[in-house]
Structure 1
Amino acid sequence: MQQHIQPPEIAITAGAAQGGASFAVFEYACAPVFDAWMTDQAETATFDVQFHSAQIGRMILGLAGMTGAHYRYERNERKVAQTGLELVLVQMITEGSDVRIVGGREIVSRPGDIFISDLTRTIATTTQHCRNVTVAVPRALISDSEVDLDRLHDRVLMADTTAARLFASHLATTWRERHSIGAGETEMVAQATGQLLASLALSTASREDVQRSISASVLVRVCRYIDDNLGRADLGPDLICREMGLSRAALYRLFEPLEGVARHIRNRRLVRVFRSLTSRRIEVRTIAEIAYAHGFFDMSAFIRAFKARYGMTPSDARTMAAMLPPEAAPNGIEEGGSLLRHWITAIGTT
């Protein structure tokens, strides 16, 4: 018989009765992901926040409500470098709305809309009254889902689409049944959630012809081969075709929806370098040594590519990651707030 377990859960509530302390609760709990501030300090005393979250395998699923005041939260280049989270964040609006900067334009959300963010990128949102269902899933859990994970960033599933309704139903069912998930099933549920998200979010992309002509299993094997050989100077179409038994035409068709094989290789190398530069583990190698180890042999080209992707130089990323100070928890949320921060950091940096 499958043993059922109670997933780790936390509940955090701070209301207007606590005055300005309620916003401090929000700031502290979301600090690993966002910087947050009031846009009208006169409203500080009216802010209410509620979090109820559960950890299911390497996934965090929760309900959040922030009401009563105008505020902004964002993940800028500095925060990306400091935290180094390798997570995909999904927020489904259930009540109220917010204003998000997506692809350089403002989008006003409505209940049922689902926003997807790659936490290796920047995010900016303003709101006054918003409740949402939030999911955080490691990018690694969906790395075999035949998509370039970078393409998930800034995806929006509008409320009236089939994709949004299907994913909303999955989240509702998972939350309702979280206490019935077997001890050996939590990671399966987390991975299934990530793969369903990738499939639905990219279902409108023009890649059906590619998937019909090239087996999905071949794409998975090629991507794994690339990840295993990122440090090789000769990693490119010729080597891949020779080792994987593909023609150049087939390889190019395979990677067409991922914006090309060369771009995919470069992006995977940049992710590995970024992870090394922002890791909390002691790193004694120089930036040049790290870049070289991951297949960048031209430092000028490497720095240009890194800055284009992350909005900062490699040295800036390393410096900013080292500058993140320890933070004391506001009164009353030491256990819940600290545990939520620990969950986010644990699943996002392993």
Structure 2
Amino acid sequence: MMPRATTGVCASLFGAFPFDVPASPDSDRPSPRFACSVFLFPGMNRAASSLPEGPAMDSPSVLDTYRFSTLAAPPAERFDAWAATSGSWSFIAPDDRSVPFDCQFDATRIGPFTMGRRTWLNPDRTIAYGMTRTARQVRADGLDHYYLLLHLGGSITWQFGTRTVDTRPGGLYLIDTAHAFDCIVKTGDTVIVTLPRDLFHPDTAKLHGCAMAPAMGGILTDYLLAFHGNLAGLSAAQVPYLTQATTNLLHACVQPCPDTLMQAGTEIDAALRERARSYIEQHLTDPGLCPDAICKAIGVSRPKLYRLFQPDGGVMKLVQRTRLVRIRNMLADPTRPRTRIADLAWRYGFASDKHFSRSFKAEFGHSPRETIEQSPRRSDEASLAPVAAAPRRELADPTFSEWIVKGNRRAA
């Protein structure tokens, strides 16, 4: 049974914050910094032919899009094919294997996030299946996102340790992929927006499993559905403007601090933050990367820079976190030549191996050595144990998780 929801926790922690927080013994437990994705479950199941199509969606040079359909597999093997394309979860077979698992999925990269849709192609025959995400998969797969789930059809019952969360039609919920879980999925359509954790205030992790209040949730739902419905017509020149507008709206709806609504409308500050982040990303190995250098590059004073990145714990905290994420992605990438951990730590500005290892473990919950030992490829193979008969995918045909992580590395 889902614990009774209360708005009091949100009010006391964050002021007028648009989430309802379920009462739970685990609700105050801090979360390691991993990931954000937005799941929207449209209520009317629609056939694949109703999805927007067009040149913009089909051209990788315009918008980078991931697509997968189980219809290419024989009916008896379609669930296994679906499990094989995930990469970050283990699957438990549906309760009714006589129903073909006819499903397709597409996701398009829009700036720092992705907009996707899962379409269940058997709307007259709903089935349930299980998914699990282990602590080992959390450590190994490189995802650094949340999931914001909106169900208008279908549902998921989540088990986070001793805590149960039912995400049902009409609710918008935040799920943190830093947590292991077990869940039961009842099939339905899903629209998914994947958001990197570093776009949000660190306290956002406290909202794991919480429901967004109806007013803000309704605004965000309408916007995201309209956005997805018009993806096919977007040009590359329009993407930066839509990225900024979408990021601002998501901040207004999700950020756990009372000044977020004001910040969402401050385009200048948002642009300055983006310029500073871009400069930081481009100079991670520069030993001279410091507040003065960043101020000079983006044309602001030190007090202004500190105010811009106060929600991140300070600009140098962001620099360290960004360096750690870059190193983690390099260590977890099985296609890269192996480099000594000490050499990477020195290259990215850490004073000593001990300082680097301590900072790395504090950020990700495991050591750099564990990241190497549990590369995404090995983790993906292990995750398919419950459906061992699933067909193997070629290296040129990545899982969805690999596609997400690859995009993050490319951006880095």
Q: Compute the TM-score of the two structures, normalised by the length of structure 2.
A: 0.62
Q: Give the 3-state SS of the residue equivalent to 2:165 in structure 1.
A: strand
Contact 2:107–2:116 (CA<8 Å) still a contact in 1?
yes
Alignment match, 2:132: 73
Judged with a 3 Å threshold, the aligned counterparts in structure 2 of structure 1 residues 149 and 70 are, in CA distance, closer, same or farther, namely same
1:34 maps to 2:98 = no
CA deviations on 1:74-99 (whole Å, 9 max, x unpaired) are: 26343552x43466654322224323
Match of 1:94 in 2: 152
Query: 1:169 is matched with which residue: 213, 222, 238?
Result: 222
Shift in CA distance, 318/118, structure 1 to aligned 2, threshold 3 Å: farther
Contact (CA 8 Å) 1:96, 1:131: kept in 2 or not? yes
CA distance in 1 between partners of 2:230 and 2:262 (Å): 37
| Alpha-carbon distance between aligned partners in 2 of 1:286 and 1:312, rounded to the nearest angstrom | 17
Q: Does the 8 Å CA contact 1:273/1:290 hold for their aligned counterparts?
A: yes
**Range with bigger deviation, 162-171 or 283-292:** 162-171
Instruction: For 2:363 and 2:239, locate their aligned partners in 1 and report how far apart those are by CA, in whole Å.
Output: 31
Tell me how far 1:266 sits from its aligned partner: 2.0
Q: Residues 153-196 of structure 1: CA distance to partner in whole angstroms, max 9, x if unpaired?
A: 566673543332222223322444445x1554685597368525
The aligned counterpart of 2:372 is 318
- CA contact under 8 A between 1:113 and 1:156: conserved in structure 2? no
Aligned counterpart for 2:192 among listed residues 135, 155, 159? 135
Distance (Å, rounded) in 1 between the aligned partners of 2:242 and 2:160: 26
What CA distance in whole angstroms lies between the structure 1 residues aligned with 2:84 and 2:242? 25
Deviates more, 1:62-71 or 1:164-173: 62-71
What SS does the corresponding residue of 2:339 show, helix, strand or coil? coil
Q: What's 2:97 paired with? A: 45
CA deviation map 1:239-276 (0-9, x unaligned): 55576665554443332222223322221111111111
Q: Which residue in 2 is equivalent to 1:5? A: 55
Q: 1:216 to 1:177 in 2, by over 3 A?
A: closer
Report if the CA contact (8 A) 1:167-1:197 is conserved: yes
Distance 1:108 1:86, change over 3 A: closer
Aligned 8 A contact 1:118 1:150 in 2 = no
The reply on whether 1:124 has 2:177 as its aligned counterpart is no
Q: Which amino acid aligns with 2:364?
A: Y
The unaligned stretches of length 5 or more in structure 1 are none
Query: Which residue in 2 is equivalent to 1:112?
Result: 170
Tell me whether 153-162 or 105-114 shows the greater mean CA deviation. 153-162
Partner SS state of residue 28, structure 1: helix
CA deviation vs aligned residue, 1:223-243 (integer Å, no higher than 9, x gap): 333333333445444655576
Instruction: Give 1:126's aligned amino acid.
Output: C
Looking at structure 1, the residues matched to 338 and 169 of structure 2 have their Cα atoms a distance apart, in angstroms, of 48
Deviates more, 1:238-247 or 1:307-316: 238-247
Cα distance in 1 between the residues matched to 2:116 and 2:291: 40
- Mapped contact 1:114–1:164 kept (Cα < 8 A): yes
| 1:198 is aligned to 2:256 | no
State the 1:104 CA deviation: 8.8
SS of corresponding position for 1:272: helix
Q: Residues 111 and 159 of structure 1 are in contact (CA less than 8 Å); yes or no, is this contact kept in structure 2?
A: no
Counterpart of 1:24 in structure 2 is 80
Distance 2:279 2:227 in 1: 34
SS in 2 for 1:95: coil
Tell me the matched-pair count.
Answer: 329
**Structure 2 SS opposite 1:98:** strand
User: 1:285-296 counterparts in 2 under 5 A?
Assistant: 285-296=339-350
The one-letter code matched in structure 1 to 2:258 is: S
Report the Cα distance in structure 1 between the residues aligned to 2:238 and 2:334, rounded to whole angstroms. Answer: 27
Secondary structure at the counterpart of residue 222 of structure 1: helix
Q: What are the Cα deviations for residues 118-169 of structure 1, in whole angstroms up to 9, with x where unaligned?
A: 66x3452412425352425474xx97xxx44766656667354333222222
- 1:300 lines up with 2:354 in the alignment: yes
Q: Please state how far the C-alpha of 1:216 moved relative to its aligned partner.
A: 3.5
Segment drifting more, 21-30 vs 265-274 = 21-30
Q: Distance in 2 between matches of 1:349 and 1:33?
A: 17
Q: Which amino acid aligns with 1:112?
A: G
Task: Name 1:61's counterpart in structure 2.
Answer: 116
Cα distance change of structure 1 residues 266 and 152 upon mapping to structure 2, 3 Å threshold? same
* 3-state secondary structure, aligned to 1:53: strand
When normalised by structure 1's length, the TM-score is: 0.71
Q: What RMSD over aligned residues (CA atoms) do the two structures have, in Å?
A: 4.4
CA distance in 2, matches of 1:248, 1:210: 22
Instruction: Report the AA paired with residue 37 of structure 1.
Output: I
Q: Distance in 2 between matches of 1:189 and 1:245?
A: 22
Q: Give the 3 Å change call, closer, same or farther, for CA 206–302 of structure 1 in structure 2.
A: farther
